Structure 1
Amino acid sequence: MYCDQIRERDPAYRPRRATHALGSPFPRCDYHWRFVCDCCGRPRIFHGIAYCPRRDAMVCVECSPAERAVRRRFWAWSYYFSLRCPWHTGFHPALDRLEHEGRHPWQLRPGDFRRRRWMSPSDEIPLRWTTRVGPTSRVSDATVRKGWDDVAGWWVERYTEKGDINREWVIDPALLAIVGDVRGQRILDAGCGNGYLSRILARQGARVVGVDLSPRLLAIAKAYEAQDPLGIRFRQSDLAKLSTIESGAFDLIISNVVLQDVRRLDAALRELHRVLRSDGRLIFSITHPAFDIPPAHWVREPPDSDRAEERPFIAVDRYFDRVALYWGPSGQPELVGFHRPLRDFTEGLRQAGFVIVRLEEPRPLPEAIRRRYRQFADQLRIPNFLMIEARKA
């Protein structure tokens, strides 16, 4: 596959015999297969892994502290990934660029090539994330709570004080622009998780209460509050039953990428309406009902590619299904959420007594594209998230 692409641009290039993925539409030679990262021990496609000559070791895009998409045309490509070294200072080009420059470790040391050093011994391309669907009737609140408790440690590892990369670079800039000045406002962080957004709002002068279904995530939020007190109160509660909160207690409710995971959505919207003051605002973000998994998935060609241009389109099917979604990274416990068509959210808001005043589909910040092109390029084509502002009628 890749040898043929290169040969089309460079007639002097000598293609190699394909030895991997022979039964697929994307057969590949050894040079263009998968190489094992010396940090995590997992294989990565050749254009998503770099070589450190001082360490004599490989580092993949997931283990590198930072990455760049260097805009420089070579062979069939207009850019290459450059990965920050986890052992020394500086960045290293990925193996596709090194091969072009004649600096691939197999080119420099033929003995490593003969031993196929670093090459993945398996022809299997494992899934990075696992997903499956099932009937919503089999899911209880306890199932949802256990899922979040089970992944709490892994989930929080992905966060900084600004949240994960999607919250920091896509969702929260748009969300906070809609929220505006929060000084003195009583705010409910509905589904607060580890409390990172509660802390951002409290530092801006809001009086914040955070609620979440997961005791383990709340314990983490409370630990942060104990280390650096900001006056935030955290409570364990199901959003569909906020019985410990009096009616009209809040000026503003924010729910950030939460409501798609709530089992009893209509009941939750009624409760959020109840605890909001008259003419108060509910602002929430969700994974986009039209483009989340399910009903959508990106088609990768080949399936382990890290390049945005090798994801030619997104396939959408069974959008109107209402199903439970079990998902998570391979090797981790499953979380459970729910796919619903957009109408379930808009009609639920109307029946609860809200009036929708704004709908946004946030895009990555320009700086996000510059610094994290691999993660965000797709979101320049199709929105991953949807944001709604509604008022209590």
Structure 2
Amino acid sequence: MTEPVRFYDRKDETAIIREWDSIAPIRDRQVASHQDASYERVLEPWILGRVDRSTAHSIVDVGCGTGRLTSKLRLRADETVGIDPSAVSIRLARAHDDATRFDIATAEDWVRCDSEARFDLAVANMVLMDALDLDGIVGALATLARGGGVLATIAHPAFWPIYWDYAGSDGFSYLDETVVETPFRTSSKSYGLVATHVHRPIETYLSSFNRHGLVVTAFEELRGPESIEKFPYPRFIGIEASVLP
């Protein structure tokens, strides 16, 4: 990677939301025009396959972005809600789907406003590694899906840094939680924008799940769409968990 990667101890949440406001129109075009092979061939099929095997009648899509996945979830449930803190993302979601409820909020804020809301299933697709406060969002998922289930996908902490070529950079350590600012890009194109995620070792995710009563029932390492010769390691993780009542 020739473009710079920057590491921080912390970053302001409003700055990250502004990043996603800028990225949202590009992401929406990518997904709508089938340009994101990882999403189309790996992440969405994994989530929808798990949903199709569930008995969920109500689903909340946390960090729904521009709602392309949420719209497909709506076809599989009696009630579906998408929430995301990016106002631009939600505006785009509402523009292409006026039958689904979309709210501008973080999961934590949404729970604070409606602490009695309950869903059979909470979905968080490529969201947990974008959250500055992991315990906050996992706790919100646990509240929203109490007695139900959670489906989450994340970038694989062990191999994502290798894939994007910053694993050996000064200031990065696998065992340390680190805010990582990278150029926003897919495997084939860069856009002149930045995106922020938080690197955490796998045990940090599992410990947070355990603290909030999420019992992992499936943990699957997912390869990207590229050939094994190009990149032989899994780039994503899919986690299914039941939530204690």
Change (3 A) 1:376 1:222: farther
Please identify which structure carries the higher helix content. Answer: 2
Q: Which residue of 1 aligns with 2:26?
A: 154
1:298–1:163 Cα change, 3 Å: closer
Of 232, 242, 245, the residue aligned with 1:391 is 242
Q: Which residue of 1 aligns with 2:126?
A: 257
The answer to whether residue 136 in structure 2 is matched with residue 267 in structure 1 is yes
Q: Which letter does structure 1 place at the counterpart of 2:5?
A: R
Q: Offset of 1:350 from its aligned partner?
A: 0.6
Residue in 1 that maps onto 2:180: 325
Residues of 2 paired with 1:381 and 1:245: CA distance?
44
Q: Which residue of 2 aligns with 1:194?
A: 66
| C-alpha spacing 1:263/1:223, structure 2 compared with 1 (3 Å) | same
Task: Quote the offset at 1:251 in angstroms.
Answer: 0.4
Does the residue aligned with 1:362 lie in a helix, a strand or coil?
strand
Cα offset for 1:213? 1.3
| Long gaps (5+) in structure 2 | none
- Alpha-carbon distance, 1:248 to partner: 4.8
Contact 2:59 2:77 survives alignment (8 Å): no
Q: Name the % identity.
A: 25
State the number of aligned residues: 235
Structure of greater relative contact order (alpha carbons < 8 Å, 6+ residues apart): 2
Give the equivalent residue in structure 1 for 2:150: 282
Conserved? CA contact 1:240–1:264, under 8 Å: no
Q: 1:347-392, CA deviations, whole angstroms, 9 ceiling, x for partnerless residues?
A: 001111111111001235xxx6xxxxxx444576200000111111
Instruction: State which of 208, 221, 232 in structure 2 corresponds to 1:361.
Output: 221
Post-superposition CA distance 1:25-47 (Å, at most 9, x none): xxxxxxxxxxxxxxxxxxxxxxx
Q: Which amino acid aligns with 2:152?
A: F
- SS of residue in 2 equivalent to 1:325: strand
Gaps of 5+ in 1: 1-125, 300-313, 369-374
Residue equivalent to 2:15: 143
Counting only pairs closer than 5 Å after superposition, residues 76-115 of structure 1 correspond to structure 2 as none
- The amino acid of 2:9's aligned partner reads T
Separation in 2 of the partners of 1:160 and 1:378? 28
Q: Work out the CA distance in 2 between the residues paired with 1:274 and 1:195.
A: 22
1:254/1:283 contact within 8 Å kept: yes
Q: Distance in 1 between matches of 2:168 and 2:229?
A: 13
Contact 1:191 1:213 survives alignment (8 Å): yes
Which one has a bigger Cα radius of gyration? Answer: 1
**Which residue number in structure 2 is paired with residue 237 of structure 1?**
105
Q: CA deviation at 1:326?
A: 0.8
| d(CA) in 1 for partners of 2:230, 2:70 | 26
Indicate the SS of the match to 1:290.
coil
1:340 maps to 2:200: yes
What is the letter of the counterpart of residue 193 of structure 1?
G
- Root-mean-square deviation (CA, aligned residues, Å) is 2.5
1:291 aligns with 2:146: no
Cα deviation for residue 195 of structure 1 reads 0.5
Give, in angstroms, the shift of residue 182 of structure 1.
Answer: 5.7
1:382 aligns to what?
A: 233
With normalisation by structure 2, the TM-score equals: 0.86
| Distance (whole Å) between structure 1 residues aligned to residue 33 and residue 163 of structure 2 | 30
Check the 8 A contact 2:56/2:121 in 1, yes or no.
no
Letter paired with 1:319 = Y
Deviation at 1:225, TM superposition (A): 1.1
Q: Deviations over 1:248-268 (max 9, x none)?
A: 510000111111001111011
The CA distance in 2 between the partners of 1:192 and 1:376, in whole Å, is 29
